[in-house]
Structure 1
Amino acid sequence: MLNVLPFPAINPVLIEIGPFAIRWYALAYIVGILFGWWYARRLVSNPRLWGPSGAPMRVVDLDDFVVWATVGIIVGGRLGYVLFYDLGKFLAAPLTIFEVWHGGMSFHGGFLGTVIAMILFARSRKIPVWSLIDTIAPSVTVGLCLGRLANFVNGELWGRPGDVPWAMVFPNADLQPRHPSQLYEALLEGVVLFLVLRFFTHRQLRLSQPGFISAIFAIGYALARIVSEFFREPDIQIGYLAGGLTMGMLLSLPLLIAGIILLVVVLRRPVPAPAS
């Protein structure tokens, strides 16, 4: 127990006025969506990233897409958690599905919800679907980072027992020192993935290759999530699956395979020459 760090007792509620309360978890979603909107606008506004043909969408399109993205994230994330992680509990008490303030969001569900929103929106505006996904993908990494930090503040989704110097005893778990796996995920899925995508969006006109950034995002997130799952305690209602896999690993494998296939297809196409 000498190597155990004290868990920081941060109130999950940032501001509370009577019945009105703002939680760090909700704030993470709000800031993540606003940052994603701002960053996507910057990508579209930079003509050097798109080649001679320019960006296939306008900044105003992204302004309109914010609402679509918000609905896709919240609805998809919640339904994904209900279906993938605790269906029996929600079937027994269906109204708890709407109690999103208690947590319980799935990235993979939110990802699917956002992809559906992007497909529908792109078709309605006659924007190439892959180009829209390429623009939005780098923008969500900060939201992923903030969401994992909010999980840490809430003392949820803790890690497996470990003897590393930074192990912590989570008050909602037990007395065993555990990995702060939420911070690992915030670093890998948020900071590292953002830097990787930033590198690719700002060189060799990769944004002019529809699907390239989307493929890098899919591969990068899947690998980051799979690595993090080796340190994260599986959800108690699911536990370990066959072969020691977790639900997070299982859901990330199709994303990894799809990303690799998409990358191979995209790399067979020539990169547009830069404008003189």
Structure 2
Amino acid sequence: MILSEVAASGQYLHFTSLHLDRDVFDITLFGHQLGLKWYSLAYIAGILIGWWYLLKLLAQPGAPMARRHADDLVFYATIGIIAGGRIGYVLFYAPEMLARPLRVLALWDGGMSFHGGAIGTSLAMFYLARRYRLDWMRVHDYVACCVPFGLFFGRLANFVNGELWGRPTTVPWAIVFPHTVPGGFDPPRHPSQLYEAGLEGIVLGLILWFFFWKTRARYQPGKLVGIFLLGYGCARYFVEFFREADIQYLNNPILGTPGLHMGQLLTFPMILGGIYLIATAKGREGRRKPFVDEQPAA
């Protein structure tokens, strides 16, 4: 009640005053409404900038694949991100959609799961490595360094959409998001989307940048992807304490409790896997095979 009255008093920034729109543009053409959403643009920007950065990494000594493999990887990874992200969302957050399978294809209805997208992307990399006889773990290492770009833009898009907001708070930088409480005053909340953009995008990206460019981590298979898994897992687990539980779990006595949110439970395998990969990476350095591009001459 106190938070609601404070929010109503106008002491906090109201999200509507930012005049943000989910659509970059929206036009009607031949009777059909067409548009580009910020969330879609975030995916495109993350993939393209990640591709550009991957090529920079591959230009350094010790690369596990050639430029032509990276070009193919972008195609396979894009499919993995979209398919895995959507399937993961349905399985982890909205299993009721399985009763109406066509809803699964309606990407605008519901959302995407990072954990599902990560699994889909990993499967795409496994396929690429098997097809071209590449070291799949080292391919994962290089791609892991590029993922924070997509996480950063994705969380910014979540903010622009006014979704995945945080828990009620009275911190000075709180924001009043609309329609968060049915039939009542909307309390000021943590802008948890921006917390995630900073931790999962900027901080994690800088950590991976340091280990790739300033250490021998790229010569120790599994170390960079381990750092990514551990870093993302810890960042996501921390931010979930400030983020409202997903609406379908909001009143759940277990998954609605901070510390046990679905997003936090899904980080446990990532954290444990990351610790294992980091701890064992040095022992794999001696088994690293130099990549030789066997593409036949024209």
Q: Does 1:105 align with 2:112?
A: yes
Q: Does 1:78 align with 2:86?
A: yes
Q: Alignment partner for residue 263 of structure 1, among 278, 281, 291?
A: 278
Per-residue deviation, 1:101: 2.7
Q: 1:56 and 1:253 mapped to 2: Cα distance?
A: 29
Per-residue deviation, 1:215: 0.4
- Identity rate of aligned residues, in percent? 49
Asked if 2 retains the 8 angstrom alpha-carbon contact of 1:3 and 1:164, the reply is no
Q: Does 1:156 align with 2:170?
A: no
Q: 1:231 and 1:23 mapped to 2: Cα distance?
A: 26
Q: Does 1:42 align with 2:50?
A: no
1:229 alignment partner in structure 2: 240
Provide the aligned C-alpha RMSD in A: 1.6
**What is the TM-score normalised by the length of structure 1?**
0.92
Aligned length: 265
Per-residue deviation, 1:205: 2.3
2:292 alignment partner in structure 1: none
1:60 alignment partner in structure 2: 68
2:188 alignment partner in structure 1: 177
Greater shift, 56-65 or 90-99, is seen at 90-99
C-alpha change, 1:263 and 1:17, in structure 2 (3 Å) is same
- What letter corresponds to residue 14 of structure 1 in structure 2? V
Per-residue deviation, 1:98: 1.3
2:3 alignment partner in structure 1: none
Q: 2:123 and 2:239 mapped to 1: Cα distance?
A: 26
User: 1:79-121: CA deviations, max 9, x gaps?
Assistant: 0000000112x13432221121345000000000001111111
- What letter corresponds to residue 26 of structure 2 in structure 1? E
2:266 alignment partner in structure 1: 251
Asked if 1 retains the 8 angstrom alpha-carbon contact of 2:221 and 2:284, the reply is no
- What letter corresponds to residue 158 of structure 2 in structure 1? N
Moved over 6 A (4+): none
Unaligned runs of 5+ in 1: 48-53
SS at match of 1:237: helix
- What letter corresponds to residue 39 of structure 2 in structure 1? Y
State the structure with more CA Rg.
2
- What letter corresponds to residue 125 of structure 1 in structure 2? Y
Q: Does 1:10 align with 2:24?
A: no
Q: Does 1:123 align with 2:133?
A: no
Q: 1:87 and 1:192 mapped to 2: Cα distance?
A: 33
C-alpha change, 1:269 and 1:120, in structure 2 (3 Å) is closer
SS at match of 1:73: helix
User: 1:34-82: CA deviations, max 9, x gaps?
Assistant: 11111111100122xxxxxx32210111011111000000000000000
Asked if 1 retains the 8 angstrom alpha-carbon contact of 2:23 and 2:36, the reply is yes
Q: Does 1:207 align with 2:218?
A: yes
